[in-house]
Amino acid sequence: MSSEVEIVVVDFNTFNDIDFKHPAAFFVRNALGEFVFFRTRTRSKAQEKCDELYGKKYTVNASKLQKQDKPLTCRGVATRRGQKK
């Protein structure tokens, strides 16, 4: 099994198609408007490959919900009560 991270480049129009399925779990949108997907299991490997390609200009985003080991412990609230400036 190869440890190399596979890269899939998708243009903006294809990405916005209603039937488009994400080819990988992590992506960045580069300066040309293309979506660069990284096929790997961990975000850290995807970020390393992104840094290798582009320097430290981009942060990798998750395109799918990832499996979580623990349940979420924090929830968002709808009010701003108690959030004084």
Q: Which domain holds residue 43?
A: 6-62
Going by C-alpha positions, the residue among 65, 11, 3, 64 that lies closest to residue 33 is: 11
Within-domain flag for 25: yes
pLDDT tens-place string over residues 57-68 = 999 999 866 666
Q: How far apart are CA 36 and CA 26, in angstroms?
A: 8
pLDDT, greater one: 37 or 84: 37
* Domain annotation covers residue 29: yes
- For residue 2 the two structure tokens come to 């190869």
75 lies in a domain? no
What amino acid is encoded at 70 in this protein?
Answer: K
Is residue 46 in some structural domain?
Answer: yes
**Residues of the chain above pLDDT 70, percent:** 71
Q: How many domains would you assign to the chain?
A: 1
